[in-house]
Amino acid sequence: MDFLSFQIAIAVIACSLALIVVLLPFIGLENFELPIAANATLTGYPTWHIDIPGLDANRFNTILLFSS
């Protein structure tokens, strides 16, 4: 086995391991449901907002608007 085929074998093994690592988190997600998405304020795209205690949404949106 020459050096080039050894490199190709290592690359195939590394890519296979990377694919396995990427796909592992998706095992067992059959019953997983996403919460209902709301539209983003500035873009209109669907997004998920978390509730942050003490957050004034109007002030936050104003900061976003004037800092863009």
Q: How many domains does the chain have?
A: 1
Q: Report the percent of the chain where pLDDT is more than 70.
A: 96
Strand partners, 38: 47
User: Which DSSP string corresponds to 12-30?
Assistant: HHHHHHHHHHHHGGGTT-T
Token readout for 48 is 């998920």
> What's the CA gap between 66 and 58, in Å, rounded?
12
Residue 21 has pLDDT above 90, yes or no: yes
pLDDT at 28: 73
Query: Is residue 25 within 8 Å of residue 45, measured between CB atoms?
Result: no
Is-above-0.75 flag for pTM?
no
Range of the domain at 49: 3-67
